[in-house]
Structure 1
Amino acid sequence: MDDDITPDEIRALAARFTDEVLNGHDLGSALEDLVAEDFVEQNPLPGQGPGRAGLADVLGGMFAAFPDMHWDVQDTLVEGDRIMSLSVWTGTHDGAFMGIAPTGRTVHVEAWTLDRYRDGRLVESRILMDAAGLLGQLGVLPAPGA
């Protein structure tokens, strides 16, 4: 645990990551500034490689599939060097995503993340996303009750 980092500093780092990387789609300087090279995703998407490069690849694929992707953080809890966030991301499916051809549909997806920071950088994350809801909105899964 990084004993010198305050909850407000962790919230500010997480907000910068959301604003600059997720919403600004900056996989260059912002990602390098905010994410450690040896970053670990505890719950990687299929095919996600290791480290910051693996995160950049998976985010680049999501930005290509949902070019207007936008994350809205709903709530956060901070303890020690970790922050848990409830977010909703939206986007229009205008590119291929995990083998699913573009549908033109707009999705709203709830996601929980548990992130850990060290020396001012994101070093570890675990994301739980409503994958079934996403696939239902894309028309891949039948609607409930269908």
Structure 2
Amino acid sequence: MTFVQVIDYETKRFEEMNALIDRWAEQASGRRTVTHTMIGRDRDAKTHYVDLVEFPSYEEAMRNSQLPETDRMFQEMVSLCDGMPKFMNLDVVRDEYLNKLLVNRIFEDLAEKGNFDVMEECVAAGYMDHDMMRMPGAADGREGLRRSMTMWRDAFDFTFDLHRQIAEGDCVSTLWNWTGRQKGEFMGVPATGQEVAMSGCTTFRIEDGRVAEGWWYYDAPGLMRQLGMNMPMGSGGTTQDMGM
């Protein structure tokens, strides 16, 4: 079970505190068990800070606390605080990443279901799609994404299997498997009714609660081979970059 330690403290010397944390991270590299940290400053009390330190488990947190570098950091941290820091130890019983939930809606509501009524809610007006094989004149923005998804939906009945996600900062990367049946024309190939599949990875950047940028990577040559299409020169069967 994931374990989070919350450290509540007052300090007028945050720059020194920040440098101390950086030194500890460098000195304990390869042995520390921390998986994620976040520091928040109270908007209503500029010297009040709260640190959230995440570990894979309580046992891993205890291992981390026994490192000599951790003990030295704690002593120095106390000297930089106005008073003794307060600690809260939490076993995480529910863990939701809002950015992941937003990204899942792009795959499920927009791509799979074609529910474009949620486009404005989920996608930024200036959305940018990075695509090495985009058609000439293809547009960005919500309309560009809608047209691209409509092209795929007109050509295939398909589903995504989202089997791994990593969220960091303002980005979410998703590893997925895609399976479909060709029901319409696709890049000059008439409908075949053939079952096809490919795997790939998509990274979305989130801005102000909406998807603002997307990078799609997947096995386009493999899909082309399954459809009996001619391979592009220089592809060599490697993964290409195409916008979904």
Q: Scaled by the length of structure 2, what TM-score is found? A: 0.52
Q: Which has the larger radius of gyration?
A: 2
The alignment of Structure 1 onto Structure 2 pairs a total of residues equal to 137
Matched, 1:53 2:122: no
Misfit runs of 4+, over 4 Å: none
Name stretches of at least 5 consecutive residues in structure 2 with no aligned partner: 1-39, 41-94, 232-236, 238-244
Find 2:187's aligned residue among 98, 105, 108: 98
Deviations for 1:92-132, whole angstroms, at most 9, x for unmatched residues? 11101122211211111112111101111100001012101
Supply the distance in 2 between the matched residues of 1:45 and 1:33 (Cα, whole angstroms): 27
Aligned to 1:122: 211
- Amino acid of the residue matched to residue 106 of structure 1? E
Higher deviation after alignment, 41-50 or 110-119: 41-50
Matched, 1:36 2:121: no
- Note the aligned Cα RMSD (angstroms): 2.1
Alignment of 1:64-103 (within 5 A): 64-66=154-156, 68-103=157-192
Name stretches of at least 5 consecutive residues in structure 1 with no aligned partner: none
Find 1:63's aligned residue among 130, 153, 163: 153
Supply the distance in 2 between the matched residues of 1:34 and 1:16 (Cα, whole angstroms): 8
Structure of higher RCO (CA pairs closer than 8 Å, 6+ residues apart):
1
Would the alpha carbon gap of residues 56 and 44 (structure 1) be closer, same or farther in structure 2, given more than 3 Å must change?
A: farther
Q: Scaled by the length of structure 1, what TM-score is found? A: 0.85
Determine what percentage of the aligned residue pairs are the same residue. Answer: 29
- What SS does the aligned partner of 1:125 have? strand
